[in-house]
Amino acid sequence: MIRAVKGTHDLLGTALAYHRTVVEATRRWAEAAGAEEIATPIFEHTEVFERGVGQTTDIVQKEMFSFTDRGGRSLTLRPEGTAGVVRAYLEHGMKVWPQPVRLWYAGPMFRAERPQKGRQRQFHQTGYEVIGAAEPEVDAEAVALSWRILESLGLRGLTLKLGSVGDPADRERYNAYLRERLEPHAERLSEDSRRRLQTNPMRILDSKAPPDRELLTELRVRPMLDFLGDAARQHFEAVQARLRALGVPFEVDPAIVRGLDYYVRSSWEIHHDRLGAQSALGGGGRYDGLSELLGGPPAPGVGWALGVERVALAMQAEGLSPVPAPGLDLYVVPLEPELVPRALEAAAAFWPELRAQYALKARKPGKGLQEAEKKGARYAALLGPDEAAAGKLTVKDLKTGEQRTLSPEEVKEWIRGGTA
C-alpha cells in the first residue's frame, strides 16, 4: 500500500474541522478589516524567495524544495506567503489601486526540514498583508487582527511578544556590534552561527543551539532595541501606543528578530503556553524594502502568518472543539426498489437550499430512519407509493419525533423554520 510522503498528511475528519475553523476565523476577521482574498501559485521562480526571503536565511540555504523544470527554469515550492503576495502586487499593478491594499490568504507552504509536531514538510498558513502604507497604525492593525483571530477561537494561553529590528542603518550598526562582541569567541558558536557571524549576525540571536544561547547570555549581548535610530524608535513607540488604545495586551521582547531578512521595524510573535519549545502560533513584521528587492518601486508593507496546525494544537491543548462541518438536513428513504430514482430526484430538488441525500436501496421505514440518524441527518423523508403518487414526502424530525406529510416546498419551509 502506498502511503503519504513523509512530512505530509491528509486533512479529513477532526483535523479538517480544525483546519476549516482556523481558516474561516481568518477570513471573517480579515474581510471585516476590508481585505480581499488572494491565492498565489504554490510554486514561484526561485529568485522570488532568494531575493525576498534572503540568501542568508535558513529557509533559502537549507529548507526550500527547489527543482529545475523541463525548460531549465529553477522553481521553488513556496516556503512562506509574503514574497509571492508582493510579487503579485507588483505584477498586477496594484500600486494604482487605492492604497493601502489589504490582502489575506490561506494555503499550503513547503519546507524541507525535519518534521516536527505542528510543522510538517507541507504545512498550512493563513496570512494578512497591508501593502502601500508605512504608518504605525497599519502595524497596530495587523498585530491586533492576528491577536483577535486567536482570541475568537477561544484561546486564552496566549502571549504577544513585540519587538523592532529597526531600519537598515540600525541593523548595520547592530551587526557590526555583534561581530565585534562575538568574533573573539567564534570557536564556541555552533557551525551555523559561525557562518551567520559573517553573513547576518542578527540571525544568531534566533539560534536555539545551547552553545549559542550560553555565549549570548555570558557576554550579556545588548538587544537590537538599544540600536534603534530616532525614526524607528518613534515608530515602535507609536505602535505600542496604538495597541494599548485597542486593548491588545503585549510584552516588549528585545529578542524578537524573526527569521526573514526582509523585516524592518515592527516584528512580533504570538506564543501559546502549552506547546513547549515549539510554542509560536504565528508572527509577522514590516517589510518596507521587499518590493524593491523584487524589482518593483517602493511599496511599504506589513503582514503576518499563522500556522494552522500549530493553532489547532493549541486549541486541542485547551480542550477547544472545532466548528463541526454542517450535517445533512434531509435524508430521503425510498420504500420500494422502483422508487430509488424518484428518491434521487427528490433529494436533488432540494439542492442547494438544503443538504440532502438519498438511500440507494429501498428500506423499510424503521431501517430507513435508523440509517438517516447514522448519516447525521436532522430530518428523514419517507417516499412510498402513496407519497410518490401525491408528489409529497412523509418527513420526520429525528430530534423531536414530529412527523408530517408535505410537498417539497412545504418541506423547505418546515426545515428552514417556517410554519408549514
Burial class (CB in 10 A: 0-12, 13-18, 19+), 410: middle
| pLDDT value, residue 256 | 83
Mutual orientation of helices 168-182 and 191-199 as an angle, nearest 10°? 130
Q: What percent of the chain has pLDDT over 70?
A: 97
CATH 3.40.50.800 in the chain, residue ranges: 330-415
Cβ neighbours for 45, distance < 8 A, ≥ 6 positions apart: 73, 74, 75, 76
Structure confidence at residue 117 (pLDDT): 77
Tell me the torsion sign for CA atoms 63, 285, 142, 86: negative
DSSP 208: -
Higher pLDDT, 142 or 261: 142
Overall average pLDDT of the 274-293 stretch? 92
* DSSP codes, 316-372: HHTTPPPPPPP--SEEEEESSGGGHHHHHHHHHHHTTTS-EEE-SS---HHHHHHHH
Span 269-298, average pLDDT: 93
Instruction: Give the strands of the sheet with 43-45, arranged side by side.
Output: 43-45, 74-77, 66-68
Q: Report the percentage of the chain scoring pLDDT > 90.
A: 81
3-state secondary structure of 185: helix
Task: Name the DSSP class of 35.
Answer: P
Q: What angle do CA 349, 351, 353 make, to 5 degrees?
A: 115
**CA 168 – CA 165 distance, rounded (Å):** 9
The pLDDT of residue 419? 46
Q: What is the CATH architecture of 330-415?
A: 3-Layer(aba) Sandwich (3.40)
Grid coordinates representing 305 are: 502568518
Domain 13-167+229-317 CATH class label: alpha beta
Per the CB < 8 A criterion, the answer to whether 390 and 406 are in contact is no
pLDDT digits (tens, 9 = 90+) for 301-312: 999 999 999 999
Task: Give pLDDT tens digits for 320-358.
Answer: 999 988 899 999 999 999 999 999 999 999 999 999 999
pLDDT at residue 255, as a whole number: 81
* 30-87 pLDDT tens trace: 999 999 999 999 999 999 999 877 766 767 777 899 999 999 999 999 999 999 999 9
Average pLDDT, integer, range 152-158: 97
Model pLDDT, residue 116:
80
Give the confidence band of 418 by pLDDT, cuts at 50, 70, 90. Answer: low
**Rounded CA gap, 388 and 398, in Å?**
22
Ranges in the chain annotated CATH 3.30.930.10? 13-167+229-317
**pLDDT surpassing 90 at residue 164:** yes
CA distance 382 to 180: 82
- DSSP-derived secondary structure letter, 59: I
Classify 176 as helix, strand or coil: helix
| Residue 166 pLDDT class (50, 70, 90 cuts) | very high
pLDDT in tens, 114-148: 888 778 999 999 999 999 999 999 999 999 999 99
388: three-class secondary structure by DSSP: helix
pLDDT at position 112 over 50: yes
pLDDT at residue 206 is higher than 50: yes
